Amino acid sequence: DQQVKQNSPSLSVQEGRISILNCDYTNSMFDYFLWYKKYPAEGPTFLISISSIKDKNEDGRFTVFLNKSAKHLSLHIVPSQPGDSAVYFCAASALNNFNKFYFGSGTKLNVKP
Amino acid sequence: NAGVTQTPKFQVLKTGQSMTLQCAQDMNHNSMYWYRQDPGMGLRLIYYSASEGTTDKGEVPNGYNVSRLNKREFSLRLESAAPSQTSVYFCASSIAGGHQPQHFGDGTRLSIL
């Protein structure tokens, strides 16, 4: 059973608008969350992370929000650019086993010029 | 700066053949990981090595063995390949275990006929 879920396989957004990618998790022991970006034929690259002691973390155009009570996190990209078109994975790990990362199935973002 | 290098990039095997996937990192990272990615699914952890000399099972270890040859290298072996092991395999490394982002190689696409 998947402990991290990304229920939207794809998302299409106009350049300059906001992209919101969502991720849900089931394991209440997860306390560290990451977003990775993946281009075709390349490995995932780290984008941004958040610890469970925070509810928001911002890095330039990228902001991650964490709602622990809902077991939900989201990645906001503002403004979206065509170069942001990629597959985005969320991942989570728990303090009691922090080497084990659980990934969602990914959301393919298409930013249209 | 190569980062994480995986060899080979592509391989086709017959059922029952054996194969070793190689991974090397030049970032002086302590922890290394092997994942597989299947269509419609996220990355799933096969094995990891928190530090040189240690290895542990991940989420889907059956059918695989690993060797942490030294601090730089972490190999994944399929002793008797099965069609269910057709996948894209990613190696990753991080500075240490714990809540640190991982750096990924570009993957090995493995097909087993």
User: pLDDT value at position A95?
Assistant: 81
Task: Tell me, yes or no, if A62 comes closer than 8 A to chain B by beta carbon.
Answer: no
Give chain B positions within 8 Å (CB) of A36: 104
Per-residue pLDDT of A19-41, as tens digits, reads 999 999 999 999 999 999 999 99
Closest-CA residue in chain B for A104?
B42
Is residue B88 classed exposed, middle or buried when 0-12, 13-18 and 19+ CB atoms within 10 A define those classes? Answer: middle
User: pLDDT value at position B1?
Assistant: 59
User: pLDDT value at position B110?
Assistant: 96
Residues 58-97 on B with a CB inside 8 Å of A are: 58-59, 90, 92, 97
Mean pLDDT calculated for residue range A6-11:
95
Cβ contact, residue pair A103, B44, below 8 Å: yes
User: pLDDT value at position B97?
Assistant: 67
Closest CA to A13 of A64, A74, A85, A63: A85
Per-residue pLDDT of B15-74, as tens digits, reads 999 999 999 999 999 999 999 999 888 899 999 999 998 999 999 999 999 999 899 999
- Tell me if A13 sits within 8 A of A109, measured CB to CB: yes
Mode of pairing for the β-strands spanning A72-77 and A62-67:
antiparallel
Task: Tell me, yes or no, if A89 comes closer than 8 A to chain B by beta carbon.
Answer: yes
Instruction: Compute the nearest-CA separation of B15 from chain A (Å).
Output: 25
Angle at A30 between CA A26 and CA A33, to 5 degrees: 105
Q: Cα separation of A23 and A56, whole Å?
A: 14
User: pLDDT value at position B30?
Assistant: 93
